[in-house]
């Protein structure tokens, strides 16, 4: 079983937690722990080989932890997700393939596109696709339609798999820490539109991609994963875009894996990622 704990730090926390586990005869196979010393916050991810009565364990842990402790035992092992897309197929297809072969670690409920071009690939994988255009309507109306369609599904996360519309703060607030974006640059370089154009113009020797939680500030949410690839003077903007798609796909896949395995904690504007 997996146990996630986030709370104020104090002496004896690990002893208290693991004492509860030992009393229930749970052997700890893997334990990752982090203390943000400045903020005095404690984070832990504990994996036990055995299972036990979850509610009892929850109560026992609650009894030994600070009152504000955030305890999550056996979080949903298979997350449900809804994808928002525009026209680019590379991230979506990668997710659909993994979903199809049951290796995504999550279950794709539906795909919503503000263009219809990706409907075909979704149908090939028997995934519901909803076309909601942003044209000829206010942003407010567009987002209300999105929201209504999203809320027709049970979901843990909304994945922006190259969704090229900026969501308003009011939309984002409805789904706090539930929206994940893949940004086509090594943030915080090249915030905003046309990062590859910016990168080409600046003559950088590497381009990257960043998977992050979406918050109210554009491209400023907590970063989950970043990777880069080298480029050089022979890369035109189109070549950078092509190369960028490979890294976007890889970074989003990695971030989702971490997320779906419950390895990511968010605190203030940063993540604690208990990687392998």
| Residues classed as catalytic | 219
Work out whether 27 is an interface residue with a second copy (CB under 8 A).
yes
Work out whether 63 is an interface residue with a second copy (CB under 8 A).
no
Work out whether 37 is an interface residue with a second copy (CB under 8 A).
yes
- Show the site string, 200-239: x = touches a second copy by CB under 8 A, - = not: --xxxxx-x-------------xxxxxxx--xxxxx---x
136 vs 233, which CB is nearer to a second copy? 233
Cα 171 to Cα 119: distance, rounded to the nearest angstrom: 24
Work out whether 188 is an interface residue with a second copy (CB under 8 A).
yes
Work out whether 39 is an interface residue with a second copy (CB under 8 A).
no
Helix pair angle (90-100, 237-260), 10° resolution = 30
3-state SS assignment for residue 93: helix
Closest CA to 222 of 261, 174, 188, 251: 188
Cα 150 to Cα 143: distance, rounded to the nearest angstrom: 10
Cα 47 to Cα 5: distance, rounded to the nearest angstrom: 12
Work out whether 163 is an interface residue with a second copy (CB under 8 A).
no
Work out whether 260 is an interface residue with a second copy (CB under 8 A).
no
48 vs 114, which CB is nearer to a second copy? 48
Output the six-digit token pair for 76.
Answer: 């949903």
Residue 173 C-beta: closest distance to a second copy, Å: 21
Work out whether 144 is an interface residue with a second copy (CB under 8 A).
no
Work out whether 77 is an interface residue with a second copy (CB under 8 A).
no
- Applying the rule CB under 8 A, the residues between 78 and 137 that interact with a second copy are 89-90, 93-94, 97, 100-101, 103, 121, 124-125
Which residues face 226 on adjacent strands?
Answer: 210
Site size with a second copy, rule: CB under 8 A: 72
Cα 185 to Cα 190: distance, rounded to the nearest angstrom: 6
The burial of 196, by beta-carbon neighbours within 10 Å (0-12 exposed, 13-18 middle, 19 or more buried), is given as: buried
């Amino acid at each position: 079983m997996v146990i996630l704990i986030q709370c104020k730090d104090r002496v004896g926390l690990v002893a208290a937690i693991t004492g509860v586990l030992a009393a229930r005869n749970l052997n700890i196979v893997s334990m990752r722990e982090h203390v943000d010393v400045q903020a005095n916050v404690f984070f832990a991810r504990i994996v036990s080989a055995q299972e036990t009565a979850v509610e009892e364990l929850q109560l026992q842990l609650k009894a030994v932890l600070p009152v504000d402790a955030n305890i999550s035992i056996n979080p949903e092992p298979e997350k449900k997700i809804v994808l928002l897309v525009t026209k680019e197929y590379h991230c979506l297809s990668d997710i659909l393939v993994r979903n199809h072969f049951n290796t995504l670690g999550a279950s794709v409920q539906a795909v919503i596109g503000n263009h219809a071009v990706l409907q075909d690939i979704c149908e090939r994988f028997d995934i519901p696709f909803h076309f909601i255009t942003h044209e000829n309507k206010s942003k407010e109306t567009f987002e209300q339609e999105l929201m209504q369609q999203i809320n027709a599904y049970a979901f843990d996360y909304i994945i922006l798999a190259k969704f090229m519309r900026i969501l308003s703060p009011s939309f984002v607030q409805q789904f706090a820490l539930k929206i994940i974006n893949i940004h086509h640059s090594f943030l915080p370089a090249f915030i905003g539109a046309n990062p590859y154009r910016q990168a080409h113009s600046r003559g950088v020797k590497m381009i990257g991609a960043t998977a992050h939680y979406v918050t109210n500030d554009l491209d400023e949410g907590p970063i989950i994963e970043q990777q880069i690839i080298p480029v050089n003077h022979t890369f035109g903007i189109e070549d950078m875009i092509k190369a960028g798609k490979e890294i976007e796909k890889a970074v989003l896949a990695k971030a989702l894996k971490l997320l779906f395995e419950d390895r990511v904690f968010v605190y203030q504007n940063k993540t604690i990622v208990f990687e392998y």
